[in-house]
Amino acid sequence: MRIFKCLTALFLVFTLCSAFSLAKKASKSVYVMGVSISFTDSTVYLTDVQNIPDVKLTKEGFLPQRDDYSYQLRNYLESKDGNRNHTCITFFSDDRSKLQKKAAQLTKRYMNDHSSVIHNLSKEDFQYVKPEAITE
């Protein structure tokens, strides 16, 4: 009976340790959205909130290679309208509702500024790609 109790305790400890180690390795989805402002023009581009699977935030909570995501949006807009003066910002979060709230705040901000023209870019128009998957 004593051996049975020891084996049961060992099995329980092993199960708990393996469960916690699996939880750390699982990567969460990260949601991103982009804003592009041209200071030579009154046009503002806003992308939809998009899901990028299998992306892990750094220990500090930052999106790895976050500048590459902004360059993707800038390159798309330069090829679309030829304007080379886009300033692109990429917002990210692992919580979709927080990012949608931020998108609503930005939309409201630029709607109140009557000199800005807002263009929404849907997922069909522009889709972010994980930087490792980009081939040149």
Token pair 């800005």: residue = 116
Which helix (H) or strand (E) segment is 9 a member of? helix 2-25
Q: CA 96, CA 60: separation in Å to the nearest integer? A: 19
Contact indicator for 49, 91 with CB cutoff of 8 Å: no
| Cβ 50 vs Cβ 92: under 8 Å | no
Using one digit for the tens of pLDDT, what is the confidence trace for 6-51? 556 556 666 766 665 554 445 578 999 999 988 888 889 999 999 9
- Name the β-bridge partners of 32: 50, 92
Verdict on whether the full-model pTM lies above 0.75 = no
Domain boundaries, the chain: 27-133
